[in-house]
Amino acid sequence: MIGADGIVIPDWLDVSRETVALLEQFVELIEKWNPTINLVSRRSMSELWERHVLDSAQLFSLIPTGARHLVDLGSGGGFPGVVLAIMARDVLPELRFTLVEADQRKATFLSEVVRRLSLNCIVAAHRIEVLAPQNADVVTARALAPLTTLCGQVHRHLGPDGTALIAKGEKVDAELAETGTVWAFQVTRFASKLDPNAAVLAITGLRHV
């Protein structure tokens, strides 16, 4: 599929043309706001679709069946939370999203995106560690913190039977080894569809060692 702006949609991204149009609107909003707020680095703006949108979109198929509440930690410019909310809007209308972002300017941007695209989201403009525990079915995070630190943040907001979906880069093996000395968990590792050195981790049963 080719989007209205000439964007190539890979075969694994099984979404409707309406969803692609919403993703394109989201990209346009980032391009409009980025010079003022720096939602993504200037260097990655030229790769916005591949590096940020598609990298976030690959988490969608890993959301467990029956999930009702997804919490995205450190949403920033909306990755992966807004991308996942756009993909869920028509096919998983019962799935609600909480986008956690302490930076007030970025939270304002996220609120504007949610309003314009009519997404089933609330924006929590709080620090992760002070936000009331969310008891979420799914917690997501991307490019936020080392895995050992991130597990503490996830543990606060993940329900006892929940799943964390964590996007990690080339240091994933070292981070898993270090984290295993502090946290116990079950992990399924999925190869990134965009970067052979990266992975998505599906973590369950998270608890202190």
Which string of DSSP letters, residue by residue, matches 110-122? Answer: HHHHHHHHT-SEE
Residues 6+ apart with CB under 8 A from 11: none
pTM: 0.94
The model's confidence at residue 61, banded by pLDDT at 50, 70 and 90, is: very high
Residue 163, domain member (yes or no): yes
CATH number for 174: 3.40.50.150
- Average pLDDT (170-193) is 94
Termini Cα distance of the chain = 47
Cβ proximity of 172 and 179 under 8 Å: no
Residue 6, domain member (yes or no): no
Residues 6+ apart with CB under 8 A from 5: 24, 27
Q: What is the mean pLDDT of the chain?
A: 93
Residue 5, domain member (yes or no): no
The pLDDT value given to residue 6: 59
Residue 118, domain member (yes or no): yes
173: Cα within 13 Å, side-chain hemisphere: 3
- Report how many domains make up the chain: 1
Residue 1, domain member (yes or no): no
Residue 155, domain member (yes or no): yes
Q: What is the pLDDT of residues 63-90, one digit of tens each?
A: 999 999 999 999 999 999 999 999 999 9
Residue 7, domain member (yes or no): no
- Average pLDDT (140-153) is 92
Residue 194, domain member (yes or no): yes
Domain span including residue 161: 17-208
The count of other CB atoms within 10 Å of the CB of residue 54 is 21
